[in-house]
Amino acid sequence: VKKNIEEYLNPPRTIFVSIASYRDQQCSNTLKDLFMNAKYPQNIYVGICQQNKKDDDECELIKECIREGLCVGNQIRKIKLDFSEAKGPAYARYYCSTLYEDEAFYLQIDSHINFIEHWDEKLLNMHDNLPPNSIISSYPLDYKDRHKLGVPYICESMYKSHKGIPEYQSYIQEPTERPRLTYIIAAGFLFMPRQAVIDVPFDPHLPYLFMGEETLLAARLWTSGYNIYSPNMNITYHDYGRKDDPKVWNDNKQFNENNKKVINKVLYLLGEKSREDVVPELLLDIDKYGLGNQRTLQEYLHFADLDLKNSKGSKKWCTI
């Protein structure tokens, strides 16, 4: 009874972890690392959208890990799609979000990630020291660089393959006392409170989207009143060296052609295309999945120093 009263007065700060996995052999190790390095693994819940070919490795907790009592085995929710049904990371992340059950915080990661010891406690403490309506996000440091001092800070925008859709570059910088204000989210490490998921729900109508996912979500969050901060310590490490692993845009020969359609939707929401440029099925529930009403798009673009119209890059944030 005493324990129940304590939990009612001080409910555990649960974390939902979203993992979109496409034919990823490292996904099981990511799960193991996630639970083994958590200080409070009983408060961690995972939602996986697994997109595999018939003989691909199942993304599941390693049995030895469960048997030895090092991991929990009943806090994982999963949606399985055949790899032929996969339509890119943004589409899979929406499916992950349907597994969310109102946990206190939402962490979105990739499926080839390593965690530091007690990552959950450190991430929650980091968030506690920020103002209300704060989000923590950045590109994780490469696993092979984990012994380097410093943390990645995204501060450069550039335009390469898609006119009007920026790409971003992070640079390793000395850790700061507190997380640094930034202008962009990283889809592979995004930590936000419950209310942000309610206010800015994941859009099911972004099939085949890859480039543009981060700019659109950042704009939606920022215009909904959320500020983005870059972590002041490395919580995770990412395996970027996966050039021979399966990619959805290689397996699906129609990916690039379909990607052009959804890019038009992104540019429409960012003010660079007209509604007529977007196929109607991508505009379903556009009010629900569009920009927020707390701040304007133009205010965001000015704040972020993004020149979409002229596809002009910027390093302004590298000097702040």
Question: What is the Cα–Cα distance from 169 to 262, expressed in whole angstroms?
Answer: 23
Contact 8, 60 (CB under 8 A): no
DSSP-derived 3-state class of residue 87: coil
The amino acid sitting at 60 is E
pLDDT tens sequence across 238-293: 999 888 899 999 999 999 899 999 999 999 999 999 999 999 999 999 999 999 99
Question: What is the Cα–Cα distance from 207 to 204, expressed in whole angstroms?
Answer: 8
- Whole-number pLDDT of residue 161: 76
Which structure tokens are listed for 76?
């994982």
pLDDT tens sequence across 2-45: 455 555 446 789 999 999 999 999 999 999 999 999 999 999 99
pLDDT tens sequence across 174-233: 999 999 999 999 999 999 999 999 999 999 999 999 999 999 999 999 999 999 999 999
pLDDT tens sequence across 113-162: 999 999 999 999 999 999 999 999 999 999 999 888 899 999 999 998 77
Residues with Cβ within 8 Å of residue 3, at least 6 apart in sequence: none
Question: What is the Cα–Cα distance from 191 to 181, expressed in whole angstroms?
Answer: 14
Question: Rounded to 5 degrees, what are φ and ψ at 210?
Answer: -130, -80
Confidence label for 71 from pLDDT (cuts 50, 70 and 90): confident
Q: Which of 50, 44, 47 is nearest to 105 (CA)?
A: 44
Other CB atoms within a 10 A radius of the CB of residue 95 amount to: 21
Q: Which residues of 126-157 are buried (b: 16+ CB within 10 A; e: fewer)?
A: bbeeeeebbbbbbbbbeeeeeeeeebbbbbbb
In the predicted model, what is the mean pLDDT of the chain? 93
DSSP-derived 3-state class of residue 282: helix
Question: What is the Cα–Cα distance from 45 to 184, expressed in whole angstroms?
Answer: 26
- Whole-number pLDDT of residue 10: 65
Q: If you average pLDDT over residues 58-84, what whole number do you get? A: 84
The amino acid sitting at 70 is L
Confidence label for 63 from pLDDT (cuts 50, 70 and 90): confident
